[in-house]
Each structure stands twice: as C-alpha cells, then as structure tokens.
Amino acid sequence: MEKTLIIIKPCTIQRGLTGEIIRRFEKKGLQICGMKMMQLTDEILFEHYAHLTQKPFFKRIKNSMMATPVIVCCLKGIDAVRIVRTMTGVTNGRDAAPGTIRGDYSVSVQENIIHASDSAETAAIELKRFFNKNEIFDYKQNQLSYLYANDEI
Ligand code: IDP
Ligand code: MG
C-alpha cells in the first residue's frame, strides 16, 4: 500500500469545497490516514515549492498558499500516488479534463484546488514535511476485501 499527500489549498477552503474534495477520495476507496489544518509559512513553502522559487510568480503562489490555513491529508491505497494525481488533473484548471478535481472546480493555473504528490519518492518526503510521525495512523480498513481482490492485497 502506498501513501500520498494532498493539500487542500486556501482557495478551496474559502469556497467551501473541502468536503467535496475529501468526499471524492473517500468514495474512490482511499483510506484517510492523517488530516490536519495548519498555517503554511515562508520557510515550508520555500522548501515545498523549491522547483518554482526562481519563477516570477513564486511570491504570488506563496501568498496565495498562506492566505488562510490549509488542510493536509494523507491518503492510502494501492497506487495511491497515481490515483490521486489522475483524479487531480493537470496543473491548469482551464486545461484539466472534466471529471478531474481541477477540471470540475478550477478555472485557474494558480488557484487549482489541491496539491498532490507527484511520485512515491516525493510523497514520502512531502508527508514527512507536513506531518509528525504520530499524526499518521495505520489502522485496519474494514472494507478492504470489498475494495480489492484477495490477490491484490
Ligand atoms: P502541480 O501542482 O500540478 O504539481 P507544479 O508545477 O508543481 O504543479 O506547480 C505547483 C503549483 O504552483 C501549482 O499547483 C500552481 O498552484 C502554481 N503554478 C504552477 N505554474 C504556475 C504558473 O505558470 N502561474 C501561476 N501559478 C503556477
Ligand atoms: Mg508539483
């Protein structure tokens, strides 16, 4: 089983879409292993968006991500990273396919609803960045034998 990180961005919190987003992942069958609200800082965003610090829009993204607290969430399942990225859609909400989260709720490159880890390696690093060890919970998912075939788990 794989674990991945999503961040419910301030635009989503302000638009009252948090429940909608979490609901999609729950309905899919992913297990919530951690969830908390936190205020992001300059330091954590500098690290988290290290690949964007030289971009002219970096300050704008940073301000946008600090506009309200965010909700960070750890989701678990087989191929969870890939599933969550596919459900999230491409970065630009205007290009994202209908049926994806960004495709259904965003018309913006920047205000694009959630962050989702892009590989298993990144997910491990990002989960450590936003969660303490005791904030990720490993508990039995009772529906497991209805979500997967025996040979998959
Ligand atoms: P991702 O969120 O789809 O993985 P990244 O390229 O990692 O996309 O960019 C991180 C975040 O930075 C995006 O989700 C978006 O909010 C913002 N961003 C990326 N490219 C642009 C841009 O060209 N203009 C404004 N914001 C951008
Ligand atoms: Mg990214």
Tens-of-pLDDT digits for all 153 residues of the chain?
Answer: 999 999 999 999 999 999 999 999 999 999 999 999 999 999 999 999 999 999 999 999 999 999 999 999 999 999 999 999 999 999 999 999 999 999 999 999 999 999 999 999 999 999 999 999 999 999 999 999 999 999 999
Domain assignment present for residue 40? The answer is: yes
pLDDT of residue 91: 98
Q: How many domains does the chain have?
A: 1
In whole angstroms, give the CA distance from residue 17 to residue 44: 24
Q: How far apart are CA 137 and CA 66, in angstroms?
A: 26
With CA atoms as reference, report the closest residue to 71 among 141, 119, 31, 21.
Answer: 21
Q: What is the CATH number of the domain that holds 118?
A: 3.30.70.141
- pTM of the predicted protein model: 0.97
Q: Distance (Å, rounded) from C-alpha 148 to C-alpha 30?
A: 11
pLDDT score at 66: 98
13: in domain: yes
Residue (of 101, 96, 65, 71) closest to 83 by Cα position: 101
In a domain, 96, yes or no: yes
Is 80 part of any domain? yes
Looking at the CA of residue 65, tell me the nearest atom of ligand 1. 16
Decide whether any atom of ligand 1 lies within 6 Å of the 115 Cβ.
Answer: yes
Measured from the Cα of 51, ligand 1's closest atom is: 7
Determine the structural domain holding residue 24 and report its residue range. 2-147
- Known active-site residue 115: yes
